[in-house]
């Protein structure tokens, strides 16, 4: 019996090519697009978001060209509750969230995977640039970086459980983006040259302030003191949710030298700024850690990425109680930001990761 695979089709070149490759390998493929958001599109076409109505139409056309059945499912309510509300809550708590990670674990590999199982599918496939490999006795799966280092997306998948990984397929992990576009063109897929989404789908034009105001649920974007590192008041901020660690623009002050946001205190409603050197931190604490590879009970060595485009820094990772870890870098790292994910690697293998709760001096 052929393996049945549901492919999460976003309407882009990656997921469309993933569906085509699986179909050619003899799998019983079903394409599914998730309708997640119904807001206005970005004003600039170069600032495309994902999951818009036009993307679902592109996914349908790709499925027709491949010759597979296609469905669109409406997950707007759980998306708003589990991803958008999380995004807003994080900013109001002084953190800077990464909603794409939660969208992967909750929308794709929870809601959509559940639907795939109801449809009788063995696997859920996506267009992520990542790989899976059996390790040890073969009972555990390792999450491996994609071969295209410029497109590797293993960072966004650190939060997946072994059960979810066991139902996942990443057909593009062995290819480069250039190869994927070429394969899409060879198969007559009109999305072969489609530009990639650049913005968060529910924040068109990058205006997340509007999202915060519309979904504040009575919470105030209250102005407060803008301080320097000595506690001297330099001006007034517009409300802590408008700021993130390392931010330089939009501070509304001029002191003759570049200043950056170095800390945010929700309890006192203060934002502190300082010079670039003050952004350098020796470590961090992360919480809600998910281990993909069984962790050591003692300190371990790893490369730690503190945001997606971070190159990774050599560090020691020490498990703490309550699903937390302490990370100490060999060299100080810039702009360690609460709310972002810290993902731990050994070479190309993801050991696990967690959510940064605080920077350590």
Catalytic residues: 103, 201
Taking each helix axis from N to C terminus, what angle separates 53-66 and 13-24, rounded to the nearest 10 degrees? 20
Q: Is the CB of residue 285 less than 8 Å from the CB of residue 297?
A: no
Pairing between β-strand 130-135 and β-strand 224-227 as defined by DSSP bridges: unpaired
| Contacts of 30 by beta carbon, 8 Å cutoff, 6+ apart | 4, 5, 6, 7, 68, 69, 70, 71, 119, 121
The two tokens of residue 33 are 């697009």
Compute φ and ψ for 129, nearest 5 degrees: -90, 85
- Give the whole-angstrom CA distance, residue 169 versus residue 14: 13
Give the E-state strand segments of the chain in sequence order.
Answer: 4-8, 28-35, 70-74, 123-125, 130-135, 140-145, 168-169, 224-227, 233-237, 260-265, 270-274, 280-291, 300-305, 313-319, 325-334, 341-346, 349-360
Tokens matching residue 254: 């001029």
- What is the C-alpha separation between 308 and 234, in angstroms, rounded? 32
Q: DSSP state, 41?
A: P
Say which DSSP state 161 is in. Answer: -
Query: Torsions phi, psi of 127, nearest 5?
Result: -95, 20
Write out the two tokens for 64. 């027709």
Q: Are 360 and 282 in contact (CB under 8 A)?
A: yes
192 alpha carbon, distance to own chain's centre: 23
């Amino acid at each position: 019996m052929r393996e049945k695979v549901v492919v999460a089709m976003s309407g882009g070149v990656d997921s469309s090519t993933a569906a085509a490759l699986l179909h050619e390998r003899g799998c019983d493929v079903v394409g599914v697009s998730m309708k997640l958001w119904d807001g206005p599109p970005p004003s600039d076409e170069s600032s495309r978001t994902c999951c818009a109505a036009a993307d679902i139409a592109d996914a349908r056309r790709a499925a027709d060209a491949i010759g597979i059945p296609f469905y669109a499912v409406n997950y707007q309510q759980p998306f708003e509750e589990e991803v958008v509300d999380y995004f807003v809550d994080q900013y109001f708590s002084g953190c800077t969230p990464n909603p794409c990670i939660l969208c992967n674990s909750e929308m794709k590999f929870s809601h959509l995977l559940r639907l795939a199982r109801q449809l009788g599918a063995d696997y859920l496939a996506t267009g992520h640039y990542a790989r899976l490999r059996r390790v040890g006795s073969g009972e555990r799966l390792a999450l491996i970086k994609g071969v295209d280092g410029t497109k590797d997306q293993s960072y966004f998948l650190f939060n997946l459980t072994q059960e979810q990984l066991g139902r996942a397929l990443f057909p593009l992990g062995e290819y480069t983006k250039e190869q994927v576009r070429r394969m899409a063109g060879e198969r007559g897929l009109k999305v072969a040259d489609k530009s990639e989404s650049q913005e968060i789908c529910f924040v068109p034009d990058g205006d997340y302030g509007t999202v915060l105001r519309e979904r504040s649920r009575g919470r105030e974007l209250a102005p407060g003191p803008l301080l320097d590192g000595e506690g001297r008041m330099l001006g007034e901020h517009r409300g802590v949710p408008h700021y993130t660690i390392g931010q330089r623009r939009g501070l509304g002050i001029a002191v003759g030298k570049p200043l950056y946001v170095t800390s945010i205190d929700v309890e006192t409603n203060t934002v502190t700024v300082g010079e670039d050197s003050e952004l350098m931190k020796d470590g961090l604490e992360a919480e809600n850690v998910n281990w993909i590879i069984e962790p050591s009970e003692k300190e371990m060595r790893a490369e730690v990425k503190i945001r997606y485009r971070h190159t990774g820094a050599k560090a020691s990772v020490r498990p703490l109680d309550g699903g937390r870890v302490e990370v100490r870098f060999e060299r100080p790292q810039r702009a360690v930001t609460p709310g972002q994910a810290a993902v731990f690697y050994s070479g190309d293998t993801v050991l696990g990761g967690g959510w940064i709760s605080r920077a350590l001096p």
